[in-house]
Structure 1
Amino acid sequence: MLEMGGILLAGMWAGMINVVVGSGTLVTFPVLLLFGYPPLTANISNNIGLVAGGLSGTWGYRKELAPNRALILRLLPASAIGGLAGALLLLVLPASAFQTIVPILIVLGLLMVAFGPALQRLTARRRALATAGILTSPGPTAGSVGLLAGIFVLGIYGGYFGAAQGILLVGFMSIVTTIALQQINAVKNVLTTAVNAIAAVTFIVVAGEHIDWRVTALIACGSLVGGFFGARFGRKLPPTALRATIIVVGTAALVKMIFFP
């Protein structure tokens, strides 16, 4: 019961974080590792479960999505194809390769979380310069090849592991578009949900033996609720507390994987 309660709460917290920050996997995945689940099973089960939170979070941000429907339709195919490629890559690479790569990915995700405020300040300065007319070249257009290529690459990453995929998407789109930050966050929720959904279908079809359905159900229930609360109250949550939680849990998972495999 303690384990089930811990996974359920981790799923709820991850659902909230995914909507607001975009790195919920760095909560649920380490929790599953700490409870002794194999990395591949933890990653796949977690991926499927978090789709529910993505759906509820996307619904919560529906007003911010309205102005960017055309952009979303252009970006969704790139995200979906990338997610499929990443999921297949996860299944093709040997388990030993995954166990080697995961700590690196977690470190990368933790760095993105830790340096998130600096990225946000840089984005804010860039937007201020653009508004004042000092920055005359804000970057490629929303339909540019560079934007689509970046979304595709991040889709591959999301289908393979996904930790901090949302942070990477927000940072990337902040650099190459001039969309308002809250609208970028809403678009991010749609794209990450699409990647997770495509990867989830792929895993169910070709890797069912690696799915722990009890874990998946617990994370799905928790993230569904967390996604709703994240969309409603996320802007009021202290970002420092969110980042601190992610870094502490992620670091604990790193220690376990490296020193207590």
Structure 2
Amino acid sequence: MNLSDAALLLAAGLAAGTVNAVAGGGSLITFPALIATGLPPVPANVSNSVSVFPGYVASVAGSYPDLPPARRVALLIPTTIAGTLVGCVLLLATPARAFELVVPFLVLGATAVLAFQDPLRRLVGHPADLSPRRRTVTVQAMVGLGSVYGGYFGAALGVMLVAGLALVLDTTLARVSAIKNLLSAVVGLTTLVVFSLFGPVDWAAVAVVAPATLVGGYAGARLVRRLPPVLLKAMIVVFGTVIGLYLLYRALR
């Protein structure tokens, strides 16, 4: 790795950490940057998953005051780990082409769910009107599906989680974002362990990108706490739409 490659990865990591904390999708900055340094797609994807983990941890630290009581979010962690493991196995054991064609529609669908959250709530029922059992099952299902996606690819994981959780949780978007940060960190830790043991990680690239995501993740999380809910929602919808269209273009070209 030469100096220009290191500078590119450093800038990409800083930007990705900030974007992940605000809306998700930072991997669409670091992944192409890793490709640009000469890494093949699978090692770049694996190295990217490992690199963004410190940024998720920093995001949790920055949004900690908005997290609900530990007992409530702890129930989501086993589902997150299990879903992530399934996604990791899919990445390491199956052809990527079919999933690449599906991913853009998942991202665009999740973005649409967040954009039209209120009409959808009127259609499927407001979270406050659901029975505790149905609400628990629905939240677990949303987290499980998002975690499978996060273990496989990860880009726009934050958009997926925020869209699903905002639909089924009766709470503020800032709190949803804080839960998203925590679950993303769990996904990141799981992929870190799996890919460190079984994946082709480029540790030199990780050593450059990871510290930068740490700084960006904390700064982004602090920014989220100061944004009005309407502006935060609009930013996530815009990020999600751009990411989904970019992934669709890349899959079809």
Q: What range describes the TM-score normalised by the shorter chain of this pair? A: 0.7 to 0.9
Q: C-alpha deviations, 1:142-189, integer Å up to 9, x for none?
A: 862232122112211111111111111111111122122111110010
- C-alpha displacement at 1:35, in angstroms? 3.6
For 2:34, the aligned partner's letter is: L
Identify the match of residue 4 of structure 1 among 6, 9, 21: 6
2:65 aligned with 1:63: yes
Query: Would the aligned equivalents of 1:83 and 1:198 in 2 still touch at CA under 8 Å?
Result: yes
Query: Would the aligned equivalents of 1:26 and 1:109 in 2 still touch at CA under 8 Å?
Result: no
- C-alpha displacement at 1:251, in angstroms? 3.3
Kindly tell me: are residues 136 and 101 of structure 1, through their superposed partners in 2, closer, same or farther at Cα, counting changes over 3 Å?
closer
Q: C-alpha deviations, 1:44-78, integer Å up to 9, x for none?
A: 1000111100001100011001x332221110110
Query: Would the aligned equivalents of 1:50 and 1:220 in 2 still touch at CA under 8 Å?
Result: yes
Kindly tell me: are residues 167 and 252 of structure 1, through their superposed partners in 2, closer, same or farther at Cα, counting changes over 3 Å?
closer
Q: Distance in 2 between matches of 1:126 and 1:250?
A: 23
Instruction: Classify the secondary structure of the residue corresponding to 2:146.
Output: helix
The aligned counterpart of 1:89 is 90
Kindly tell me: are residues 169 and 110 of structure 1, through their superposed partners in 2, closer, same or farther at Cα, counting changes over 3 Å?
closer
For 1:247, the aligned partner's letter is: V
Poorly superposed stretches of 4+, deviation over 6 Å: none
Instruction: Classify the secondary structure of the residue corresponding to 1:23.
Output: coil
Q: Distance in 2 between matches of 1:167 and 1:249?
A: 10
**Which runs of no fewer than 5 residues in structure 2 stay unpaired?**
none
Identify the match of residue 132 of structure 2 among 110, 134, 141: 141
TM-score w.r.t. length of structure 2: 0.82
For 2:117, the aligned partner's letter is: T
The aligned counterpart of 2:146 is 154
Identify the match of residue 215 of structure 2 among 203, 218, 225: 225
Moved more, 241-250 or 222-231: 241-250
Kindly tell me: are residues 120 and 82 of structure 1, through their superposed partners in 2, closer, same or farther at Cα, counting changes over 3 Å?
closer
Kindly tell me: are residues 170 and 26 of structure 1, through their superposed partners in 2, closer, same or farther at Cα, counting changes over 3 Å?
same
Query: Would the aligned equivalents of 1:7 and 1:28 in 2 still touch at CA under 8 Å?
Result: yes
The aligned counterpart of 1:212 is 202
- C-alpha displacement at 1:140, in angstroms? 5.3
Q: Distance in 2 between matches of 1:140 and 1:248?
A: 35
Query: Would the aligned equivalents of 1:26 and 1:250 in 2 still touch at CA under 8 Å?
Result: no
The aligned counterpart of 2:30 is 28
Kindly tell me: are residues 26 and 205 of structure 1, through their superposed partners in 2, closer, same or farther at Cα, counting changes over 3 Å?
same
The aligned counterpart of 2:53 is 51
Query: Would the aligned equivalents of 1:141 and 1:177 in 2 still touch at CA under 8 Å?
Result: no
- C-alpha displacement at 1:201, in angstroms? 0.1
Q: CA RMSD in A?
A: 3.2
Question: Identity over aligned residues, as a percent?
Answer: 29
The aligned counterpart of 2:194 is 202
Query: Would the aligned equivalents of 1:140 and 1:177 in 2 still touch at CA under 8 Å?
Result: no
Instruction: Classify the secondary structure of the residue corresponding to 2:242.
Output: helix
Q: Distance in 1 between matches of 2:11 and 2:245?
A: 16
Q: C-alpha deviations, 1:61-103, integer Å up to 9, x for none?
A: 11001x332221110110011111211221111xxx1255335
The aligned counterpart of 2:242 is 247
**Which runs of no fewer than 5 residues in structure 1 stay unpaired?**
none
Query: Would the aligned equivalents of 2:81 and 2:190 in 1 still touch at CA under 8 Å?
Result: yes
TM-score w.r.t. length of structure 1: 0.79
Instruction: Classify the secondary structure of the residue corresponding to 1:144.
Output: helix
Query: Would the aligned equivalents of 2:114 and 2:237 in 1 still touch at CA under 8 Å?
Result: no
Q: C-alpha deviations, 1:8-46, integer Å up to 9, x for none?
A: 111111111111102211221122234432111111100
